[in-house]
Amino acid sequence: MTENALQALSILRDGSQFKWYIIPLLAFIFYVYVQETEKRNWNLVLAGLAFWGMDWFNEIWNSLVLHFTGYAPVWAAPGDTAFLILAGLNIEIMFMFAVSGIIWSKMLLPKKEDKILGIPNRWFIAIAGSAFCVFIEYLLNAASALTWDYAWWNRGAPWLIFLVGYFTFFVVAFWVFDMKTMKQKVITVGSIWALDILALILFIPVLGWI
């Protein structure tokens, strides 16, 4: 097992890592969602939840890679944190993804047919947003805050980080945003979160894999 993986496991869900700054961060998340709910911006709220749910799905399979290989997750977050939830997910990252979908969905133009630089705005923002996230991930990796141990997931292979790491989040979030009915939105977001929650229950307390 790699040094990064061992370091992550050594602090995994260790309550002694707690730091008080997570409380104002939590308050900020509540504020964002309460603000959008008060305005009845259900498209934004559900797009945000879809984006967040997709990240949880990624973090779960990433932890399963560590379990089944016994070598390393695809990415790890072994550095300083207030709480490491999964091998590659600390509470700071979780809070960031909780609001990311809302932030990026606010950039969408009113009509999905409208274009930016000749590209339909949903696709343009998804591409630009994913590229920006990859750039930030490069900086985090350079600071050893986010680590990579596989040759096919590193600075020399950014396309997988782009496509799997972020682009799917944007596509699903914007897809939910543009759905015709509230029923479709709720069923889709509910299905994503139901899968995440069931997986977390199965793989953490039941099987102890992640």
Q: Total structural domains in the chain?
A: 1
Residue 156: per-residue pLDDT: 86
Question: What are the two backbone dihedrals, phi and then psi, of residue 107, each rounded to the nearest 5 degrees?
Answer: -85, -10
Instruction: Determine the structural domain holding residue 102 and report its residue range.
Output: 3-21+34-191
Q: Is residue 79 part of a domain?
A: yes
Position of tokens 């274009």? 115
Q: Is residue 51 part of a domain?
A: yes
CA distances from 67 to 1, 128, 208 (A): 10, 33, 10
pTM of the model: 0.95
Q: Is residue 199 part of a domain?
A: no
**pLDDT grade, residue 155 (50/70/90)?**
confident
Q: Is residue 13 part of a domain?
A: yes
Q: Is residue 148 part of a domain?
A: yes
pLDDT in tens, 50-93: 999 999 999 999 999 999 999 999 999 999 999 999 999 999 99
Q: Is residue 94 part of a domain?
A: yes
Q: Is residue 210 part of a domain?
A: no
- For residue 169, count other CB atoms closer than 10 A to its CB: 26
- For residue 197, count other CB atoms closer than 10 A to its CB: 12
pLDDT in tens, 95-133: 999 999 999 999 999 999 999 999 999 999 999 999 999
Q: Is residue 208 part of a domain?
A: no
Is 207 in a helix, a strand, or coil? coil
